[in-house]
Amino acid sequence: MNFELTADQRAIQELTRELAEAEIVPNATSWDREHRFPDELYPKLADLGLMGVCVPEEYGGGGADFLSYVLVLEELSRADAGVGVTVAVHTSATTLPILSFGTEEQKSRFVPPLARGEQLGAFALTESGSGSDAGSLRTVAEPEADGWAITGSKQWITNGSRAGTFVLFARTDPATAGARGISCFILDAEHVRVTREEEKLGLNSSTTSDLALERAHVGRDRLLHDEDRGFRVAMATLDGGRIGIAAQALGIAQAAYDVARSYATEREQFGRRIGDFQAIQWKLADMATEIDAARLLTYRAAWLKEDGRPHTAEGAKAKLFASEMARRQTAEAIQILGGVGYTKEFPVERFYRDAKITEIYEGTSEIQRLVIARSILGRQVRVEPVQRA
């Protein structure tokens, strides 16, 4: 059992860290305060191959493995989690499902512009009435002579107002309820209309949009995977995407720990560094331990995915633990800094706000526990109806 990164993985990690320190860290606070999407950043990431780092070279990518991609997300999120989620959705949720489920024509047509960063990707599954219960979506694709006309709306779509390519889900068999009868399509920006930009607690350097589709016509060449079997695409995509969110949470927590540790070595009270007090030492020890545990869970899930092994439960465990750890430990970082931690003088309050969403998107913590329980007990485990008075 070898826990060492390869030379190539370390090189990609270092390359990303250097770019993040030079281009992201100095600007992250202002992007957050201004709620500004840094359009100028992504061509720079693309120039270094970071917009398609795990995409095969024949499709315009960097040809690295999935763990290398996870390292990229961790380093980007350590600098700014909004940048991390932009790249995560672009890669895990848009580019990779086309690679996994697309025809050769689709892969050759749609993947290279994404992998080269010539356009951003978005994943359009969630609707106002279908969040955790994604199979209840209402967007409809009506058959036409040469394709489909898609009508409906989507909510909370990361990259929605900047994307050029959308992996979007719609019901092609309205007579079938639930997950069956849903198909997946590859759409262009011209097919959708942005109806609202969401105001969020955190991740203010990323864009989150509501979309409308009004009889958007797409040809049969836009169907991804088999008709009425698109839900399989969604679930497989989320299996890998959750590993990316775990990496994002890991990067946020690492950034908070770095600030807290540095502060503890400099701040003095009662004539001593606060790091000399046991209360602070224990907080830092717990932070370091939980970050290490989250990193091992996340890297293991990434290795399993790269090796072609089952990773549904392992990805769910990584996301569950890393996201809840990030929320806890960013709060502890604020506590170590005390009053200044609650102000915008230090970035730990931003880390705290950014961490919370990792417990929600790509499957809530409650859904992750359900996925894990199913792996332990079998598919008979299901969500019980809420009992109302």
Q: Looking at the annotation, which residues are catalytic?
A: 362
C-alpha pair distances (Å), 152 with each of 125, 156, 214, 216, 224? 11, 14, 7, 9, 18
User: Per the structure block, which two tokens stand in for 47?
Assistant: 């120039």
- Is 354 in contact with 347 (CB distance < 8 Å)? no
Q: What is the largest CA-CA distance in the chain?
A: 80
- The Cβ of residue 173 has, within 10 Å, a number of other Cβ atoms equal to 14
Q: Which residues contact 177 (CB under 8 A, 6 or more apart)?
A: none
- The Cβ of residue 378 has, within 10 Å, a number of other Cβ atoms equal to 8
Distance CA 319, CA 70 (A): 13
β-strand pairing of 268-269 with 272-273: antiparallel
C-alpha pair distances (Å), 374 with each of 65, 368, 377? 28, 10, 5
Nearest alpha carbon to residue 93 among 210, 243, 213, 276: 243
Residues in the chain: 389
